Structure 1
Amino acid sequence: MKTVLSTKILSPSQKELFLNSGLGLVEYNALQIEFLDVTIALHYQNYIFTSKNAVKAFLRHSKKIDTSDYKAFCVGEKTKVILEENGLKVIKNTENASDLGDFIVKNHQNEEFLFLCGNIRRAELPEVLSKNNIRYTEIETYKTHLVHRKFNRLFDGLLFFSPSGIKSYTKENSISEQMLFCIGNTTATEAKKHTDQIIIANKPTVENVLVQAIKYFKKHD
């Protein structure tokens, strides 16, 4: 039986989708999130979120207030869903941070933003905003810790959901002949440092990464 390693613990429904396909699955969390004890200013109108964890950090601070007045600009479908579920109005959702920066520059030039991020956020968005004189304040709301774990076996496929996940895995393990399944282009760029055996999900969701792996191994059974 072909076995795949997921660098993220899957939800029961995600796991079921995978195991019903006849593939073996090993899973662990390659990353651990630590929320920081910071004060998030709640007087801004516009908030930028590039991850679900940034939204979670914001919600820890804003439980007692009406969030419907806030405007959110975000990256990723899952980030959008969690914002809307908690009453925030999503003005714009894009697949990557560069596109979000371009949208803000074109449409919200004279407004002010609070950008909530983690300690290893990518540079594209702040660079676009700074270059175009958009007024924004950046606040680090969580830290991502790499969880190093050694596996004394070779997996047929590896599932990666962020560049940090790849960095975490490769601290203790090497990538050889396995096929890598990546959630998006940013993750794939990191993967290319180790191999060209890469398949990128059609949509940046965990489910689509799983679907790509299932399709690939069915075809190569």
Structure 2
Amino acid sequence: MIRVLSTKRLEPNQRQYLLNGGISVLAADFIDVSYIPFDINQTKENLIFTSRNGFLGFLANKMSGVYTGSNVFCVGSVTATLIERYGFNVIASADDGKALSEIIVGEHTDKSFTFFSGSLRRDILPDAMKAAGIDFNEMRVYETVLTPHKITAPLDGILFYSPSGIESYLKENSITDEVCFCIGNTTAAVLKGISDRVIIATKPSIENVIVQVRNYYK
């Protein structure tokens, strides 16, 4: 039987979907998150979130409700749905930070933004906004903690959902001929020079990563 590792614990229905395709699943959380206090009074007109954790870190501030209804720019359709569920107005969402920066720089240079980020965020989005002279500030709202695990079972595939997940995996393991399934281009880029067996999800969601696994091994 095909065996894959998910570097994030899966919901029962997600695991069952793989099992129904004849795929055995190992799963462990290779990263953890802790929220960081921040001064929410410095928040500007428009909010930027490039991950679900960024939005949850924002909500962890007890004053976040004051900003309900604010305009939001974000990465990922799943994150966008979550943000809208809490009463915020998603103006634009994109598949990755680069695509989101292109939307902001191309169509919204007259607006002001606050980017709610994590400790391991990439430079692509803030660098693009600085270069375009956009009024923005950044607030660190969560810290990513690597929680590596040694995997001894032979694997056919590995599911990665973030660059930090890859970093954590490689602290205790190596990648040889396993197929790497990545949630997006930013995550896949970390594997350059490490593996050429990379499958990228067509949408940045855990569900679509799982779909790619099923499609690959069917």
Question: Shorter-chain TM-score: what band?
Answer: over 0.9
Q: What is the aligned partner in structure 2 of residue 67 from structure 1?
A: 68
Superposition map of 1:143-162 within 5 A: 143-162=143-162
The CA RMSD measured in Å over matched residues stands at 1.5
Divergent runs of 4+, >6 A: none
TM-score, length-normalised on structure 2?
Answer: 0.94
Unaligned runs of 5+ in 1: none
Mapped to 2, the partners of 1:42 and 1:16 lie a distance apart of 44
Q: Give the C-alpha shift of residue 49 in structure 1.
A: 0.7
Mapped to 2, the partners of 1:192 and 1:181 lie a distance apart of 13
Q: What is the aligned partner in structure 1 of residue 19 from structure 2?
A: 19
Superposition map of 1:25-44 within 5 A: 25-41=25-41, 44=44
Q: What is the aligned partner in structure 2 of residue 126 from structure 1?
A: 126
Q: Deviations over 1:190-211 (max 9, x none)?
A: 1223111111112221111111
Instruction: Give the conservation status (yes or no) of the 8 Å contact 2:44–2:136.
Output: no
Q: Secondary structure at the match of 1:15?
A: helix
Superposition map of 1:1-221 within 5 A: 1-41=1-41, 44-61=44-61, 62=63, 64-65=65-66, 67-68=68-69, 70-218=70-218
Amino acid at match of 1:207: E
Q: Deviations over 1:11-45 (max 9, x none)?
A: 12211211111211100001000111223237532
Q: Deviations over 1:75-94 (max 9, x none)?
A: 11121011100000001111
Rate the CA distance shift 1:17–1:129 in 2: closer, same or farther, 3 A: same
Mapped to 2, the partners of 1:65 and 1:99 lie a distance apart of 29
Q: Deviations over 1:53-99 (max 9, x none)?
A: 1111112224543612x110111112101110000000111112122
Aligned residues: 217
Instruction: Give the conservation status (yes or no) of the 8 Å contact 2:96–2:184.
Output: no
Mapped to 1, the partners of 2:32 and 2:215 lie a distance apart of 29
